[in-house]
Structure 1
Amino acid sequence: MNFRNKVQENSVGFQMAPMLDIIFILLIHFMAATIFAHWEHKLGITVPTADSGTRGIRQRGEVIINVDEVGKIYINSQEMSVERLESLLAEIADAFQEYPVVIRADRNSRHQSVMTVLDICTRVKIHNVAFASIPAEGRPE
């Protein structure tokens, strides 16, 4: 018996539909990543300038805490009470030891509000804390 005559030999060509699916998935991923990356800048906080300030590379797991000029504390554009912030940072510190915390305080915010956030970080044993600033005018980034 000759079975080879019944087997069709079609050449497999370039499949365009799976390629389009992958492109759309990548597009959605990058759109969502852009939205999440800009959440911390949504509040309109004007961070202070610093001559020695440099733009740091975003670190994995970075927690950004915003303090506005009236002293309200925000994470991801959600207002946090001091108690809620402490419990949230304690959970983060228990799960991930070296996650950095960046404090973006408005240049007109009260010093006490920033010290409250620093005290909370110390109580929950987070020691990788940085302050956000922008370069002074006339100084290149």
Structure 2
Amino acid sequence: MAVFSHRRKKRKLTAEINVVPYIDVKLVLLVIFMITASVMNLGVDVNLPQSNARAVQQSEDPVVVSINAAGQYSLRLGDGPDTPVSAEQLSTQLRAFVAQNPRLPVFVAADKNLRYQEVMTAMELLQAAGVSRAALMSVPRAQER
């Protein structure tokens, strides 16, 4: 009798990761994100004020803080002359004006070539002096030189 010996072929084990289910999940997530992104409102509702750009009527002499291109301050009360002042003097004089009239409007006239940081520093000085009404001055486009 012949004994047949069946030899099994040993299969080599291969370690493979099936990535097809992961790709399917990624595609489903991509579709979900695309749908939700189109539904989301990405804008911010802002009710902007309307302006006719008229001159403001003043019942009192305005205080004007001017800043030249070099960043030097000057102070003008009403129709008086511009008086050069340091930042400390500006703060002290504004505190005195605000003590007399808390609702005193102060206008900031800055050179158009001045860095924005200098304007913000001036606004911080106004805030520290207690000024509650501050505005930035501009020149209409027709009057620019």
**TM-score normalized by structure 1?**
0.56
1:74 maps to what in 2? 74
1:87 maps to what in 2? 92
Q: Does 1:62 align with 2:67?
A: no
Structure 1: segments with no counterpart, 5+ residues: 1-50
Query: Matches of 1:107 and 1:52 in 2, distance apart?
Result: 22
| 1:55 shift after superposition | 2.3
The 8 Å contact of residues 73 and 86 in structure 2, kept in 1 or not, is answered as yes
Larger relative contact order (Cα-Cα within 8 Å, sequence gap ≥ 6): 1
User: Aligned match of 1:134 in 136, 139, 143?
Assistant: 139
Letter in 2 for 1:119: E
1:38 maps to what in 2? none
Query: Matches of 1:59 and 1:115 in 2, distance apart?
Result: 27
The 8 Å contact of residues 54 and 134 in structure 1, kept in 2 or not, is answered as no
Query: Matches of 1:110 and 1:59 in 2, distance apart?
Result: 32
Letter in 2 for 1:69: A
The alpha-carbon distance between structure 1 residues 106 and 53, as it changes in their structure 2 partners (threshold 3 A), is farther
1:118 maps to what in 2? 123
Structure 2: segments with no counterpart, 5+ residues: 1-50, 77-81
Identity %: 22
| 1:101 shift after superposition | 0.1
* Larger Rg computed on CA atoms: 2
Letter in 1 for 2:57: I
Aligned length: 88
Per-residue deviation, residues 48-68 of structure 1 (Å, max 9, x unmatched): xxx964322244131011111
| 1:85 shift after superposition | 0.5
Per-residue deviation, residues 17-50 of structure 1 (Å, max 9, x unmatched): xxxxxxxxxxxxxxxxxxxxxxxxxxxxxxxxxx
Query: Matches of 1:80 and 1:112 in 2, distance apart?
Result: 19
When you count helix as a share of all residues, which structure comes out higher?
1
